[in-house]
């Protein structure tokens, strides 16, 4: 990922995350995210369609964009689902530092999975 793409992503917090069901039905949902160097991290809830989809197929697409001016970063990659352990706690700390709403309503290991999305392909425009 290029430095300008990481800088663009670092300054924003809303993305659209696409997953696919085992029946190959696409599912796109807005999510808040934080950056962990080149990886995108997203907290999810148990019982959601996106988590169900990711358990069957870890491939994702994610886009962060704006219309004025027209610019965006599009990512295709794989999502690892973390629920406990040192890496989970490290990512949880990143989310808590970025989002006040998470600091006001904190959770612990095993209460909310965290996705760590590794980019395999990145396309950007307008940056």
Strand (E) or helix (H) holding 123: strand 114-125
At residue 102, the pLDDT reads 87
pTM comes to: 0.93
Tell me what pLDDT residue 101 has: 87
pLDDT at 37: 93
The per-residue pLDDT for 106 is: 85
Domain positions in the chain: 3-125
Tens digits of per-residue pLDDT, 22-52? Answer: 899 999 999 999 999 999 999 999 999 999 9
Per-residue pLDDT of the chain (127 residues; tens, 9 = 90+): 999 999 999 999 999 999 999 899 999 999 999 999 999 999 999 999 999 999 999 999 999 999 999 999 999 999 999 999 999 999 999 999 999 888 888 888 989 999 999 999 999 999 9
Contact 40, 117 (CB under 8 A): yes
What DSSP line would sit under 3-45, residue for residue? HHHHHHHHT--EEEEEEE-TT--EEEEEEE-EEETTEEEEE--
CATH 3.40.1280.10 fits 3-125, yes or no: no
């Amino acid at each position: 990922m290029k430095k300008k793409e990481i800088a663009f992503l670092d300054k924003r917090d809303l993305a659209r995350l696409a997953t696919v069901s085992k029946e190959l039905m696409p599912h796109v949902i807005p999510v808040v995210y934080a950056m962990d160097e080149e990886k995108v991290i997203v907290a999810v809830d148990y019982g959601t369609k996106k988590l169900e989809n990711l358990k069957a197929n870890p491939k994702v697409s994610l886009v962060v964009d704006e219309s004025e001016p027209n610019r965006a970063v599009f990512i295709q990659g794989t999502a690892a689902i973390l629920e406990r352990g040192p890496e989970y706690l490290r990512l949880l700390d990143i989310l808590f530092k970025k989002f006040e709403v998470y600091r006001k309503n904190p959770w612990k290991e095993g209460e909310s999975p965290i996705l760590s999305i590794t980019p395999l392909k990145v396309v950007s425009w307008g940056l």
